[in-house]
Every structure is written in structure tokens, then in C-alpha cells.
Structure 1
Amino acid sequence: MAQAGNAYYDSPRDIPAIIPVFPLEEALLLPRTQMPLNIFEERYLMMVDYAIHKDRIIGIIQPQAEAVDTDQAPEKLYAPKLQQVGCLGRVTAYGETGDGRVLVTLTGICRFRVVKEILTDLPFRLAEIDCEEFVHDLIEGLGEDQVDREGLLDVFRAFLDANDMEADWESIAKSSNEILVNSLSMMSPYGIAEKQALLEAESLALRADTLIAMTEMHLASESSDTPQTLQ
């Protein structure tokens, strides 16, 4: 069973078949994580209002990499072709700023696959979805015992050191393996293809291993780009 705010999701039958989808480049939502959003575009303000009055569910999904080519015509950028897999989020916090924006928090429920987009006169996009292949996302902590936590923390420390950054290690120590893996995946500074690979990983352990490999490659690349001085 998955919980998001006051709602519980026991099976894909608890999830609506048609949802609004929010295309976000290099953005990742995963089960039981939270994503804060600052909404200001009129079409997405209408999308949030639609979701609030329906099931409070919005699908976060990336555009396909070729769809964000800045050389494309504006109409192509308005409705880029979407990836096939995204993640459902329930609006669990909502606030109006007084200057026309709304601040919302989405809590991840489970991943979904796009069956087809729905033709509509609405200014935002709707899609028919299927969650059956991701039903295991509804089980909290599934596969946590197979995660290489120490390997993930080691590469995370190396990343922080390389970028002169700090972390709240007390909070990290208290985090479950699931929250640790998914939160670090969301925070990772990678592109569309890498974020999609993390999203579509078949298991929590595979997601952790994928993130470790990506970060090691990133660190190695940064190291090779650093000019060496002779002593």
C-alpha cells in the first residue's frame, strides 16, 4: 500500500486512467519522494486547478531528448513528444502566493506508462496511462535490503568533495535505503537520458547501482578535464 497525504493506493485500480501530465526536462519524481513546484504559467495553473478538483494527481514526465532542441519551431516546443514512462504525484500541499503563482508539493505514488495522449481543448496535456507493470512501486521499501548503501554513500561523499559541497549527514543516517536512493536520484545533476534511466530502473538496487556508475563516470570526466601541473 502506498500513502500520499491523506490518500492510500492499494492497487492500480485506485489510480485514475486519465491524468494531466506535466512535461519537465531533467526532472524526476519517484515513489514516496516529494517535489516542490512553483507554478506561474497560466496553462499549468489551470492544470493544478483541474487536478485539485479531480483526483489531485499529476503525472511528472520528461520530454524526449530530441524534443528540447532549441532550434525547433515554437509550436514543437509547446507540445514536445513525451517519454513513455513517468511518475504519478499527488498534490499534498497547496498555497497561493498573492502574486498569481501557486506553490504545490507532489508526493510520488508510482510510475506509469503512457498508453496514449488524449485530444482535448484544455491548454494542458492529458494522457491515458497504465500502472500495472509498476505495481511493486506501491510496496514501501521493496528491495531495500539489496541496495549497496555504503557504495552509494562513498560516491556521494566523493561528489560532495569534488564540488566543495556539504550534506546533512544526520538526516542521511536516518533515511531508509529507499528514500536515500530515490532522493539522490532526484537531486542528481544529470540530463534527460540519465534521469530517464534512473526512473525506469527495474529495482531499487539497480537504480542505486546506476546512480553510482553515472556519478563515477561524472567524477572521472571532471578529473580528466582538470589541467594537471608538474611538480
Structure 2
Amino acid sequence: MTRQRISLFPLGGAVLYPGLQLPLHIFEPRYCAMVSDSLARDRMIGMIQPREGERPGADKPALFEIGCIGRIAEIEALDDGRYNLILEGKSLFRLIRELDAPTLFRQAEGDLIAPRANEALAAVERAALDNEARRFAAWLGYRVDWDGIAQLDDVTLVNAMAQIAPFDVAAKQALLETATINERAELLMQLMRFATSQRGPDDNRATLQ
């Protein structure tokens, strides 16, 4: 494993996977400072979720151990100091220890987690995931470009679903921490089935293109 210093952006409900992108609007002074620092160094930011049960607005909430480092791929600096940016996932990491840094934002040492090679779903797994995803999307009222979805490779498909699905913090973290793409796909299907059996969909509707 490769250990490195990571600038942390704790944000509940927002996860990132290697190879995928995450749009962010940065407005808090400490995270604007983090972006400025990142641009001056390596353009890297570590997305990580605070643990559930933490007091909202807590200065240093406890964090989960697994997050994802992303590289700033696009950025728009606004006149008032805020930023709009696109973060591109590069590698999952395991949080080792938080550093006593003088910066406004939190920093830590983390071990980068090497991706597994040649991961793929069996044809029956891919078909089952597709069927469950169609049911889930219809239940939520989402409109999805299924032809475009069919062109995605297995890893991109599973990770994209795990990143954008409207699950809670704990579920999103559980998906992020699965060891293999097969386990992630199975957990995704379980979560989709559970959601549709327990409650009605939110009033908000979304369009996935």
C-alpha cells in the first residue's frame, strides 16, 4: 500500500468511486482554503463521510475509515471566493491517523487501496442487477437512459449506481467498503429491495441521463 498525506473533505451522503466524477460547490472558508491548497500542490482531495450520530455542524466529527481520493478535474473560481468543481475519483483509501495540522481543514495519513484487477459480474449477476435497478428507478420515478447504461462495463455500472443511489450514510458507506464488485452488486440489490418494501418514494423526482 502507498501511504500519503490527504486533505479531508468530510461530507455525509457524498461518496466517490475511482473513475467516476462528483460535482461539488465549495463555500465554507475552511474548504475554500482546502481547494486553494490542493490547487497549489497536487489537486487532490479526500472525500470521506462523518459517522452517523455526530452533532450537525460539529467542528471535528468522527470519520469512517474508508474514503476516496479525487483529483480536481475542472474548477470554476467565483468572484466571492467560492468554487464549483468536478472531482474525479482516483483511489480508495484507508484512514490511518489524523495529523495535527495548522490548516483550517483537516489532514490525515492514509493508505491507498489498490484496485482489484479484471473484476466482472457473471452474466446472471448483471441481468439480476439490471432488473432490480429498473424496478427501483421506476419506483422512484427516475427516467434513465437504459441504452446508455447497457454500454457501461460492470465495474463502472455498479460503482455509478452505488454513488448516485439515494441511500442513507450508513448504506453508502457499506457499499463503499465492500471488498469486491460482486459483493457491491449484491448489496446494492438488497438495499434496493429493502427500500421498496419499507417506505414510499420521496416526492422529489430526478432525471438520470
One of 19, 22, 43 as aligned partner of 2:9: 22
Give the match for residue 136 of structure 2: 159
Instruction: Give TM-score scaled by structure 2 length.
Output: 0.89
Give the match for residue 227 of structure 1: none
Which runs of no fewer than 5 residues in structure 2 stay unpaired? 201-209
Which runs of no fewer than 5 residues in structure 1 stay unpaired? 1-11, 224-231
Instruction: Give TM-score scaled by structure 1 length.
Output: 0.81
1:169-193 CA distances to partner (integer Å, 9 max, x unpaired)? Answer: 2221211111111111011111111
1:137-184 CA distances to partner (integer Å, 9 max, x unpaired)? Answer: 5x5xx3124472211111111112212221112221211111111111
Give the match for residue 82 of structure 2: 101
Number of residue-to-residue matches in the alignment: 199
Matched, 1:113 2:94: yes
Give the match for residue 88 of structure 1: 69
Give the match for residue 185 of structure 1: 162
- Give the superposition deviation at 1:97: 2.9
Q: SS at the partner of 1:22? A: strand
Runs ≥4 in structure 1, deviation > 3 angstroms? none
Larger radius of gyration, structure 1 or 2? 1
- Give the superposition deviation at 1:98: 2.9
- Distance in 2, Cα, partners of 1:120 & 1:56: 18
One of 30, 41, 47 as aligned partner of 1:43: 30
Matched, 1:196 2:173: yes
- The question of whether the paired residues in 1 share the 8 Å contact of 2:121 and 2:181 is answered with no
Matched, 1:54 2:41: yes
One of 41, 59, 63 as aligned partner of 1:78: 59
Letter in 1 for 2:42: D
One of 196, 211, 224 as aligned partner of 2:188: 211
Letter in 2 for 1:186: Q
One of 89, 114, 127 as aligned partner of 1:135: 114
1:100-158 CA distances to partner (integer Å, 9 max, x unpaired)? Answer: 32111111111111110000121100001112xx2125x5xx31244722111111111
- Distance in 2, Cα, partners of 1:175 & 1:163: 22
Structure (1 or 2) with the greater helix fraction: 1
- Distance in 1, Cα, partners of 2:59 & 2:12: 13
Letter in 2 for 1:65: E
